[in-house]
Amino acid sequence: MTGRVFVTGIGVISAIGNNVRENLDSLRNQKSGIGKIEILDTIHKDEFIAGEIKYTNNQLSDLAGISEGDNLPRTSLLALIAAKESILNSGIDLSDKVRTGLIGGTTVGGMEKTEKYYYHPELNTDFIKSHSCGSITEQVAEYIGVTDFVSTINTACSSAANAILHGARLINHGYIDRVVAGGFDALSKFTLNGFKSLFILSPELCTPFDKNRKGLNLGEGAGFIVLESEELLMKSGKKPLCRLSGSANANDAFHQTASSPNGEGAYRSMAKALKMAGINADQIDYINLHGTGTDNNDFSEAMALKHIFGDKIPHFSSTKPYVGHTLGAAGGIEAVFSILSITEKLIFPNLFFKDPIPEFGISPVQNVITNVDVKNVMSNSFGFGGNDTSLIFSSN
């Protein structure tokens, strides 16, 4: 791929805010959104905490500016809010004739409604049609008016990062000229109980890359970015936020749910992204980690960081202690945070970190760094099945 693809808009909703401005304020003020579960109807409310968005579906529907109330899956509402914001932020007009794509990443699609009505189809059968991953993206496409290209990727927790990667490729191939790409997932009993059964949920606030990390906190939300071709920008004269300079996908091929102890998949995706961006490892100013807070992920990712960066690891942090692990949305939300790092000259801390993992002795950023010149940011997203993806955003 040789073309240049630029970021012109961002949109996000997470446990730390309904939009980019609110998320940025929380990031800057080191305010975590993880806490008691109040909206999701689960018996594990007192056992686990989560990065839950404290709005009912009716309230989210209002935020999305539609009158569907609780009729749409929560996932669709979250996705619509973030997608709409990214479009508004980019200033693109979807009614013009420019070929536009919408690519979404999600792990469980409309599961939140399915689990609610599965034993009560007499109350509502909409879940049968809105259950699939693709149906959520399709609903968003209908609301925002994207018709040229609509697609959905599910590579577990790297889904959104792969949606962004694919969107950029489609622009480079001339299939479309711009794309709204990202990810979305709502909290559900299905995923909460799934991660519980894997014994990787922490009952306390997650502490990625800490010696005493106890697992992850789940979260929910959506994050989208708007990518435009260089040609389109030359025509409009619009000033982009930054550029997606590198994106790469590799497979760890080690285990169905666990990462390899040597971090090979993570190493491969990071190395390939650097190569594509045409920069050396020492030109990365900040790494937004996958950093879930599980024993396994953080060890494997730290190993890969050592492998790529040697003893000169740049500033790095996981922003999951702010929003939780938002699964299919993570790569989208963290892409937005990575872009904000460049545009706002900020590096976000890895909240709640205390002691480094003894084997590595590396510590993430622990307080917000302001007025820092961030030229290149790497954002990592790794998923079950060894699906590893790294994105690089650059200021030039």
Neighbouring CB atoms inside 10 A of 281's CB total 17
Partnered with residue 151 across adjacent β-strands are 103
Structure-block tokens of residue 135: 């149906």
Minimum gap (Å) between residue 254 Cβ and other proteins: 7
Catalytic residue among 131, 133, 157, 166: 157
Q: Which is nearer to other proteins, 119 or 234 (CB)?
A: 119
Beta pairing class for 149-153 and 100-105 = parallel
133 is catalytic: no
Which DSSP category does 3 fall into? -
Minimum gap (Å) between residue 102 Cβ and other proteins: 8
Q: Which is nearer to other proteins, 86 or 135 (CB)?
A: 135
**What sign does the CA torsion over 205, 209, 214, 220 have?**
positive
Catalytic residue among 131, 166, 315, 325: 325
Minimum gap (Å) between residue 129 Cβ and other proteins: 7
Distance CA 14, CA 221 (A): 5
Catalytic residue among 131, 206, 242, 290: 290
Q: Which is nearer to other proteins, 341 or 387 (CB)?
A: 387
Q: Residues interacting with other proteins, by CB under 8 A?
A: 1, 42-44, 107, 109, 114-115, 118-119, 121, 125, 128-129, 131-135, 137-138, 141-142, 146-156, 162, 166, 169-170, 173, 189-190, 193-194, 196-198, 249-257, 264-265, 268, 383-387
Minimum gap (Å) between residue 274 Cβ and other proteins: 16
* CA-to-CA dists, residue 154 to 126, 144, 320, 350, angstroms: 22, 22, 20, 27
Q: Which is nearer to other proteins, 17 or 328 (CB)?
A: 328
Minimum gap (Å) between residue 239 Cβ and other proteins: 29
Structure-block tokens of residue 263: 């971090």
Residue 61 backbone phi and psi in degrees, to 5: -60, -40
Using alpha carbons, select from 130, 167, 127, 175 the residue that is nearest to residue 151.
Answer: 167
339: left (phi over 0), alpha (psi -120 to 50) or beta: alpha
Residue 44 backbone phi and psi in degrees, to 5: -90, 15
166 is catalytic: no
Distance CA 357, CA 142 (A): 47
**Helices and strands of the chain, counted as H and E runs:** 13, 13
Q: Which is nearer to other proteins, 173 or 235 (CB)?
A: 173
DSSP string, 166-198: HHHHHHHTTS-SEEEEEEEE---HHHHHHHHHT
| Beta strand spans in the chain (E) | 5-13, 35-36, 49-51, 100-105, 149-153, 178-185, 218-219, 221-229, 242-251, 286-288, 315-317, 376-383, 387-394
Q: Which is nearer to other proteins, 255 or 354 (CB)?
A: 255
Minimum gap (Å) between residue 181 Cβ and other proteins: 13
Catalytic positions are 157, 290, 325
